[in-house]
Structure formats: structure tokens, C-alpha cells
Amino acid sequence: MLIDKNVRVFLEELASRAPVPGGGSVAALSASLASALTEMVANLTIGRKGFEEVEEEMKRISQESSNYREKFLKDIDKDAEAFDKVMGAFKLPKNTPEEIENRKQIIQKEFKNAALVPLEVAKDAVKLMEFTSKVVEKGNKNAISDGAVATMMARTAVLGALYNVKINLQSIKDEYFVSRISKQVHELELKAIEEEKKILSKVGL
């Protein structure tokens, strides 16, 4: 599994000619890093003098960010596995009309799944920005730069994941599916960009 590799090995595999890991896994990694930083700022706020009023909120944010961190880590492998399944579908036999039709249907199914995996990453990364906003606004001011980086990493995760959605949509023949998902992509892109601007305006550095 990719998430069990050390950083150097992961980066070496990323830099290789192998198709996975790729941009989708990096988007999930970015989201996981954003989660970890958000969790860190919350933890640096808990128990500190002057932050008693937000302590319970920070405890909740710490736990929620931890949950997201674990989910995004799993998404690193999930994205790679989805792409592998697309590649596997192309290798299916096509010697008879039945095999050709079966292969087409499976390819389309796997392309849809390969689009939906990063879409979920993007949705969750947008939700995470609610927490990066809270730690920037209410958290330990000595760690506000970390909250800012968490916000930027979350934004990058959203936009990066959505590019992976877009490229898979190009191969999908189901027009209704493409239209529905494209609308979600557009909304998530706007949301991430707007939220980042709003949050970073509170940093003041």
C-alpha cells in the first residue's frame, strides 16, 4: 500500500514512469497534510491560557481533523486502485461481439468510479476548510501560519482532485452523469477558491 511507504520511497514512485501514484493520490495526500496541520493547531490551542472558551471546540476540531486525516490517507490508495481498474478494463478480451460489449461497459463503469473517488476527496477537503477557518480565527495565534498553510493545502487538494474528475469525465459516454458531475465540480471549485480567500484574509501576516 502506498500509505505504508516512507516519504522518500513514495516520492521516488511518484517520479517514476509508472502511472500510479499520480495526481489523484497527491491531491488526497495534500488533503491529509491539511488535516494534520489543522489538528496540530487545534492541539496547540487546547489547554493554553486565554483559550479556555474555545477549548471544547478545539477538541472537537482536533478529533474531526484526525478522522479526515485517516480517511484521506486511505484515499491515496483508493485513487491509485481506481486507476488500476481502468487500466485493467482495457486489457479485457475483445475477440467476440459479446466480449467487446462487455469490455465497453466495464471500461465505462471503471471510468465513472475513477471520477467519483477524487470527487469525494474534493467534497471532504471543502468540508475540512470549515475547520481550517476555525483554527485560523480562534486558534493559537503563534500557529496561525500553520492554519494558513492548512487552508492552502486543502484548496490545492480540492482543485487537484477535481482535475482528476475532469479528465475521467472526458472518457465517459453517459451525458447525464457527465452533466451532473460537471456541475458539482464547478460548484466545488468556486467554493474552495472563495473559502481560501476568506480564510487567508483573517491571517494578517
Phi, psi of 126 (to 5 degrees): -65, -40
Instruction: Assess if residue 44 is contained within a domain.
Output: yes
Q: Which three cell numbers stand for residue 50?
A: 486565554
- Alpha-helical (H) ranges within the chain are 7-15, 23-45, 55-90, 97-138, 144-169, 175-200
Q: Please state the domain count of the chain.
A: 1
Instruction: Assess if residue 192 is contained within a domain.
Output: yes
Classified as helix, coil or strand, 119 is helix
Closest CA to 164 of 50, 25, 59, 12: 25
Provide the pLDDT for residue 20.
86
Answer whether the bond into residue 21 is a cis peptide, omega within 30°: yes
Instruction: Assess if residue 187 is contained within a domain.
Output: yes
Instruction: Assess if residue 50 is contained within a domain.
Output: yes
Q: What is the pTM of this model?
A: 0.94
Closest CA to 125 of 50, 51, 200, 26: 26
Per-residue pLDDT of the chain (205 residues; tens, 9 = 90+): 766 778 899 899 999 998 888 999 999 999 999 999 999 999 999 999 999 999 999 999 999 999 999 999 999 999 999 999 999 999 999 999 999 999 999 999 999 999 999 999 999 999 999 999 999 999 999 999 999 999 999 999 999 999 999 999 999 999 999 999 999 999 999 999 999 999 999 998 8
Instruction: Assess if residue 12 is contained within a domain.
Output: no
Instruction: Assess if residue 57 is contained within a domain.
Output: yes
Instruction: Assess if residue 77 is contained within a domain.
Output: yes
Instruction: Assess if residue 6 is contained within a domain.
Output: no
Structural domain span for residue 29: 19-200
**Location of C-alpha cell 479556555:** 52
CATH number, domain containing residue 28: 1.20.120.680
Q: What is the total residue count of the chain?
A: 205
CA distance 181 to 77: 22
